[in-house]
Structure 1
Amino acid sequence: MKQVYICQDTIIGVFSAIHDAWMENRDDDSGIALRGQMMPKMFCEYTEVEENEQKSIAVERLIKKNLGYNAYWDIYHALLSDDCEKADAVYHTMLDARQIKDSKRIMEHLSNPHVARVFELSRKVGNEAHIFTEFIRFRELENGVLFSEIAPKSQVLTCIADHFTNRFPLENWIVYDQTHEIFLAHQARRKWVLVQGEALNTEAAGKISEKEGKFENLWKMFCRSISIDERGNPNLQRGHLPICYRKNMTEFN
């Protein structure tokens, strides 16, 4: 029977499952599924895998040593996507890398369906992260913290963290991922951190500073003043700025 390892939809969770599957050496007779995102199949035996940081570190080292850093980042970004079969694609990509002469060139084998899937997911996450570096809008709260809310499909917070840390190194700021309920927090002059398991205080997040209210009105007025109704092109605008991103942008509120 095929052995399927069930894990949490996190980097540590997936790497822990890959570790267990790899150590048992089941090869193509095994697979990995995400908890809550799988459909039971016949002739399969399911094993629950708990997150384990040591296992995750071991797999990370294995990938970097044998597949290289470029492949590792493709795998890392692919695991941030919202695809329910991403973990299995990554696992079989690692297995298939053992069948080629130079395992560090595995991501060049796009004729392999697993490799092609990992490459596609990695590019998708990278594109979405790039979009959010342009579309994120911060607002200043009464306590002086810069706050932003986004609703990404993928878990892009770690992809955009360094960008905003470099832009606002002297500011206290928070980006809240509504989809995955995760906070990206940065304290002035320090490194960023991810915060999970905490609920958003909507009351505090809604209290903006007096200065922020004035600047928001000025920004909306500016956007209205530069627009030309006669030259409006909604289809072209949606191509550059999809509707799904607008609900958290100041100029569309």
Structure 2
Amino acid sequence: MQKIYVCHDDITGIFSAVYDAWKERRETGDAGIAFKGSVEQKLFCEYTECEEREEKVIAVEKMIKNHLGMDAYWKLYHAALSSDPAKGDAILGTMFAARRLKDSTRIMENLTSPSVEKVFALSRKVSNEAHYFKEFLRFKELESGILFARIDPKSQILACIAPHFADRLPLENWLIFDGTHEVFAVHEARKSWFLISGIEADMEILERLSESEMEIQKLWKGFFESISINERESYERQRQHLPIWYRKNIVEFQN
């Protein structure tokens, strides 16, 4: 009977489920991962709620880095951040496939494995999305002087982009709010960034902009309108370079 490990849809939950399946010496087709709130029960399966602990995550991360290598670790890590509901099974399947290889560090070259192929594809998709948001993200100055930005990504990319902005803006107090997953990345000037979840955002406060910010936005939009040439506008090309779903978080496209 296949055993399904039920966990939260985050790194801690997924790696804890991998730990339990590995410890119980499960094999491909003998185990799976499902996420709380979206479990679709199947016949002839045993469902068990996974106990999620940081010690399990550390153990799995150490095992991956030591036996599969850093490249495989980052691909598995990024795949775990994707929005694909089947990512847990793909990550678990990749781990099982690596166990059967003589040289487990070459696991990501084994694209004949459906699990490895899916992890590779998911990792690339998440990395691309994080790269786009590094380019498109715009901060606004609030009345308090704090820089604030909202994003609505498909994947859980805050942990991927926060180090970039911490490096670019080390002397600023800033917040990035992931509206899709309701998580904040918080950075205090001259200190490290961290993630906060489980709190309700007061959007009314986060929409109170400073006077200088409103003036700069007005000038910026005016600049874009002034350089636009109506005869050369191409909506299709615009969509190729900047997909529509990114635009709601970009100042130039907001009313």
- If the length of structure 2 is used for normalisation, what is the TM-score? 0.98
Structure 2 residues not aligned, in runs of 5+: none
In the TM superposition, residue 98 of structure 1 has moved relative to its aligned partner by 1.3
**Could you say what secondary structure the match of 2:47 adopts?**
strand
Deviation readout 1:1-54 (Å, 9 max, x if unpaired): 111111110101111111111111121311111122231111101000131111
2:64 alignment partner AA = I
The residue that corresponds to 1:215 in the other structure is: 216
The residue that corresponds to 2:64 in the other structure is: 63
The residue that corresponds to 2:126 in the other structure is: 125
User: 4+ residue runs of structure 1 moved beyond 3 angstroms?
Assistant: none
Alignment of 1:167-246 (within 5 A): 167-246=168-247
1:71 alignment partner AA = A
Kindly indicate whether the alpha-carbon contact (under 8 Å) linking 1:80 and 1:156 is maintained by their aligned counterparts in 2.
Answer: yes
Equivalents in 2 of 1:23, 1:50: separation in Å? 13
**Could you say what secondary structure the match of 2:64 adopts?**
helix
Is the counterpart of residue 91 in structure 1 residue 92 in structure 2?
yes
Equivalents in 2 of 1:226, 1:245: separation in Å? 22
Taking only aligned residues, the RMSD between alpha carbons, in angstroms, comes to 0.8
1:9 alignment partner AA = D
Deviation readout 1:75-117 (Å, 9 max, x if unpaired): 0000000010101111110111011111001001111100000
**Could you say what secondary structure the match of 2:59 adopts?**
helix
Equivalents in 1 of 2:197, 2:234: separation in Å? 41
In the TM superposition, residue 150 of structure 1 has moved relative to its aligned partner by 0.6
Kindly indicate whether the alpha-carbon contact (under 8 Å) linking 1:11 and 1:76 is maintained by their aligned counterparts in 2.
Answer: yes
Kindly indicate whether the alpha-carbon contact (under 8 Å) linking 1:38 and 1:84 is maintained by their aligned counterparts in 2.
Answer: no
Equivalents in 1 of 2:32, 2:161: separation in Å? 31
Moved more, 131-140 or 22-31: 22-31
Equivalents in 2 of 1:65, 1:237: separation in Å? 44
Deviation readout 1:184-240 (Å, 9 max, x if unpaired): 111111111001011111111011001101100010001101110011100100110
Deviation readout 1:125-166 (Å, 9 max, x if unpaired): 000000001111110001000000010000010111111111
Equivalents in 2 of 1:96, 1:37: separation in Å? 26
Moved more, 31-40 or 152-161: 31-40
Kindly indicate whether the alpha-carbon contact (under 8 Å) linking 1:141 and 1:208 is maintained by their aligned counterparts in 2.
Answer: yes
Equivalents in 1 of 2:37, 2:228: separation in Å? 46
Q: How many residues align?
A: 253
Q: Percent identity?
A: 55
Is the counterpart of residue 140 in structure 1 residue 155 in structure 2?
no
Equivalents in 1 of 2:101, 2:160: separation in Å? 30
Structure 1 residues not aligned, in runs of 5+: none
Moved more, 240-249 or 29-38: 29-38
The residue that corresponds to 1:5 in the other structure is: 5
Kindly indicate whether the alpha-carbon contact (under 8 Å) linking 1:145 and 1:174 is maintained by their aligned counterparts in 2.
Answer: yes
The residue that corresponds to 1:22 in the other structure is: 22
- If the length of structure 1 is used for normalisation, what is the TM-score? 0.98
2:103 alignment partner AA = D
